[in-house]
Amino acid sequence: MKKILITGIAGFIGHHLAKLLLKHDYDVVGIDNLNDYYDPQLKLLRLKDLGIDTGNILYNEILKADNLSFIKLDLTDKKNIYKLFEQNNFDFVIHLAAQAGVRYSLVNPQAYIDSNITGFLNILESIRNHPVKHFIFASSSSVYGLNEQVPFATHHHTDHPVSIYAATKKSNEMMAHTYAHLFDIPTTGLRFFTVYGPYGRPDMALNIFTKNILEGKEIKVFNNGDMSRDFTYVGDIVESIRRLIPLSPKKNSKGFDPQNPNPAVSSASYRLFNIGNNSPVKLMDFIRAIEKALNKKAKINFQPMQAGDVKQTYADVTELFEYIHFKPQTDLENGIGEFVENYREVYLLKK
Catalytic machinery residues = 165
Could you tell me which residues are beta bridge partners of residue 93?
5, 135
Element holding 219 (H helix, E strand): strand 218-221
Report DSSP letters for 272-283, one per residue. Answer: EEEES-S--EEH
Query: How far is Cα 186 from Cα 125, in angstroms, rounded to an integer?
Result: 14
Query: How far is Cα 334 from Cα 239, in angstroms, rounded to an integer?
Result: 17
Contact 300, 256 (CB under 8 A): no
In the DSSP assignment, the letter for residue 90 is -
Query: How far is Cα 260 from Cα 235, in angstroms, rounded to an integer?
Result: 36
Query: How far is Cα 97 from Cα 264, in angstroms, rounded to an integer?
Result: 22
Amino acid at 214: L
Query: How far is Cα 241 from Cα 246, in angstroms, rounded to an integer?
Result: 10
Report DSSP letters for 106-134, one per residue. Answer: GT-HHHHIIIIIIIHHHHHHHHHHS--SE
Element holding 21 (H helix, E strand): helix 12-23
Query: How far is Cα 253 from Cα 271, in angstroms, rounded to an integer?
Result: 9
In the DSSP assignment, the letter for residue 59 is B
Contact 55, 78 (CB under 8 A): no
Query: How far is Cα 19 from Cα 17, in angstroms, rounded to an integer?
Result: 5
**141-166 burial code (b ≥16 CB/10 A, e <16):** bbbbbebeebbbbbebebeebbbbbb
